[in-house]
């Protein structure tokens, strides 16, 4: 069953209720963020990178630690090209089902994987790679309290075209076009589910949104438009 029609409704309800998350940027500026979950993937991510290079666009990737460990060269290439990197957990387990220690381990192990793959200092990665998107967008108020306590920043979404179900490139593109506006935070997937279409889908989305006068930025740029205090 597809839930794509329900995501815009959920967004309108959840955004004001959980306003310490990044759901979208400012509607006053023509910026949108392309974000990609579940990678890196040995086949789909390089195809996606070629598209982003073609249009000179910087995107944001929310990685699974296990995938980083399996494809460190791909992870390093994404980072080398200047894309923004965030955390999606180590193995896509749903955050509310994890005990606090298990959740923190999942995030820290993903940071370790990123540091190793990208040949970065682990302390720097722990300070800089702190954006977290919960798998399947599932969280609880307690989940957010833990993330805040550990100085992570929860990143959600405003446009979810359900590309992981592969309804067809044209369907995904039309869903994005119907929902997109200034500040939109768009979720696509370059992992095992949905990654087969991600390069073509992304190319079409970029072409159409550029025609609308929108500019592509990373989630970090969207964070700069809202206030999110650090944990003490």
For residues 189 and 164, the answer to whether their CB atoms sit within 8 Å is yes
Secondary structure (3-state) at 77: helix
For residues 50 and 93, the answer to whether their CB atoms sit within 8 Å is no
Does 189 participate in catalysis according to the annotation? yes
Each residue of 162-210: pLDDT tens digit?
A: 999 999 999 999 999 999 999 999 999 999 999 999 999 999 999 999 9
Select which of 37, 38, 131, 197 is catalytic: 37
Each residue of 29-77: pLDDT tens digit?
A: 999 999 999 999 999 999 999 999 999 999 999 999 999 999 999 999 9
Secondary structure (3-state) at 35: strand
Each residue of 79-129: pLDDT tens digit?
A: 999 999 999 999 999 999 999 999 999 999 999 999 999 999 999 999 999
What pLDDT, on the 0 to 100 scale, is given for residue 228?
54
What pLDDT, on the 0 to 100 scale, is given for residue 231?
42
Preceding amide of 97 cis, omega within 30:
no
Select which of 83, 88, 92, 189 is catalytic: 189
Each residue of 144-159: pLDDT tens digit?
A: 999 999 999 999 999 9
Helices (H), the chain: 7-17, 44-55, 65-70, 72-80, 100-118, 122-128, 141-149, 169-179, 198-211, 219-223
Average pLDDT of the chain is 95
Q: How confident is the model at residue 232 (pLDDT cuts 50, 70, 90)?
A: very low
For residues 65 and 90, the answer to whether their CB atoms sit within 8 Å is yes
pTM for this model (two decimals): 0.96
Positive/negative CA dihedral, 171, 177, 178, 183: positive
Name the token pair of 201.
């889908």
Name the token pair of 88.
């999606």
- Residue ranges and CATH numbers for the domains of the chain are 4-8+32-223 (3.20.20.370)
What pLDDT, on the 0 to 100 scale, is given for residue 226?
78
Residue of 152 and 230 predicted with greater confidence: 152
Does 83 participate in catalysis according to the annotation? no
Examine the pLDDT at 3 and tell me if it is beyond 50: yes
Examine the pLDDT at 230 and tell me if it is beyond 60: no
What pLDDT, on the 0 to 100 scale, is given for residue 225?
86
What would the mean pLDDT of 138-142 be, rounded to a whole number?
Answer: 94
């Amino acid at each position: 069953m597809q839930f794509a029609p329900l995501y815009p409704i959920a967004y309108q309800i959840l955004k004001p209720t959980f306003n310490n998350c990044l759901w979208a940027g400012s509607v006053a500026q023509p910026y949108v963020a392309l974000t990609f979950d579940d990678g890196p993937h040995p086949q789909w991510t390089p195809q996606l990178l070629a598209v982003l290079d073609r249009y000179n666009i910087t995107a944001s990737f929310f990685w699974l630690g296990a995938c980083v460990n399996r494809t460190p060269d791909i992870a390093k290439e994404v980072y080398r090209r200047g894309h923004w990197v965030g955390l999606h957990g180590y193995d896509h387990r749903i955050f509310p089902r994890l005990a606090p220690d298990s959740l923190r381990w999942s995030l820290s192990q993903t940071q370790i994987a990123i540091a190793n793959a990208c040949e970065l200092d682990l302390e720097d990665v722990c300070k800089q790679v702190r954006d977290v998107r919960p798998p399947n967008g599932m969280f609880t108020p307690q989940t957010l309290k833990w993330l805040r306590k550990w100085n992570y920043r929860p990143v959600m979404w405003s446009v979810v075209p359900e590309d992981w179900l592969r309804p067809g490139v044209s369907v995904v593109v039309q869903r994005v076009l119907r929902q997109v506006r200034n500040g939109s935070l768009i979720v696509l997937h370059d992992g095992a589910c949905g990654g087969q279409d991600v390069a073509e889908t992304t190319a079409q989305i970029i072409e159409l949104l550029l025609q609308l006068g929108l500019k592509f930025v990373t989630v970090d740029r969207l964070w700069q438009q809202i206030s999110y205090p650090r944990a003490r």
